[in-house]
Amino acid sequence: MNGRPEQFSAQPNELLVERLRDGLGLTGTKVGCDTGQCGTCVVQLDGRSVKSCLLLTASAAGSRVTTIEGVTERGGELTGLQEALRQEHGTQCGFCTPGMVMALGELVENTADREAPTEPEIREWLTGNLCRCTGYHSVVRGVQRACSAARAELPEEIGEGAAVSASAGSAASASASASGKEV
């Protein structure tokens, strides 16, 4: 659990999200629905994002679980993705935010060694996470920003080839924020 071993016994019908919030006090993971639709409860299980309200605690035994608390320390420095979301104001009420960060973390981390995701890809990736406040625009721009930042840090030969496709993404981002600045 967030890099530390945790040992406990769970009821057979206990959901992972209940264990996280009520049992371990990791309240950064949120509950927004009762049907697995909203994505506020997303955590990473062995590096893959999963909805912790759809998972029995017992089935996570032996896996690496990362919650939002495991992404950054309390008051600690933001990750590249979080920083990009901050710059684009990708969060308003913030209730969807931890789930978004957990779901998007997987996408952004994996872009370093492949083509940066396109806008439709990012939107598709976000399909499991509902946000009522932002309408997703600032979140999508945040991901575009995070991906270009991640690629800018790559070794020269990958980074340069990548710069072309990354700039397509950031051009969209730039025009959106340029018109945004007007408002």
Partner 1 sequence: MTAVTGDVPLQGSGLLGQPLDSREDPQLLRGEATYVADIDLPGTAHMAILGSPVAHAKILSIETKAAEQLPGVLKVATAAEFTGVMPLPCIWIPGGVESHFPPHPYGLPGARPVLTGDTVRHVGDPIAVVVAETPRQAAAALAAIAVEYEPLPVVTRADEALAEGAPQLHEAVPGNLNAYWTCGDKDRTDAAIAEAEVTVELDLVNQRTINSPIEPRGAVGDYNAATDEYTLYASTQGPHNHRFLLSALVLGIPFNKLRVIAPTVGGSFGTKGYLYPDMALVLLLSKALGRPVKWVDTRTGLMNSTVQGRDHRQHVVLAGTRDGRITGLRATSYANLGAYPSTIGPGVATALMGRSISGMYDIQASFCEVYAAFTNTVSLGAQRGSGRAEAAFLMERLVDRYASEIGMDPAAVRRKNLVPKEKFPYDNGLGWTYDSGDYQLNFDKAMELSGYADMPARKAEARSRGKRLGVGIATYVAICGVGPSTRMSKEGMLGGTWESANIRVHPTGEVTVTVGSASTGQSHHTVFAQVAADELEIDPALVQVYEGDTLKAPYGQGTYGSRSYSMAAPAIALTARKVKAKLVKAGAVFLGVPEEKVVYAGGKVYEDGNEENAKTFSEMAMAMWYGWGLPHEIEPAIDETTHFDPPDFNYPFGTHVAVVEVDELTGETEVVAYTAVDDAGNIGNPKIVLGQIEGSITHGLGQALMEAAVYDEQGLLVSSDLTTYALPRAADVPFFTLDKTTTPSPHNPLGAKGAGEIATVPPAAAVVNAVVDALSDLGVQHIDMPLTPEKVWRRLRGEAE
Note the residues at the interface with ligand FES (CB under 6 A). 31-33, 36-41, 51, 53, 91-97, 131-134
Q: Choose among 65, 31, 70: nearest CA to 50.
A: 65
> Using an 8 Å Cβ cutoff, are 104 and 125 in contact?
yes
Residue found under tokens 């940066």: 116
Q: How far is the CB of 46 from ligand FES (least distance, A)?
A: 18
Q: Which does 53 bind (CB under 5 to 8 A by kind): partner 1, ligand FES, none?
A: ligand FES
Residue 2 Ramachandran class (φ > 0 left, ψ -120 to 50 alpha, else beta): left
Residues in the chain: 183
Residues that bind partner 1 (CB under 8 A): 21-22, 25, 27-35, 37-38, 40, 67-69, 71-72, 74-76, 78, 82, 85-87, 89-98, 101, 119-120, 122-124, 126-127, 129-140, 172, 176, 179-183
Residue 27 or 165 with smaller CB distance to ligand FES: 27
Which residues are paired to 49 by β-bridges?
44
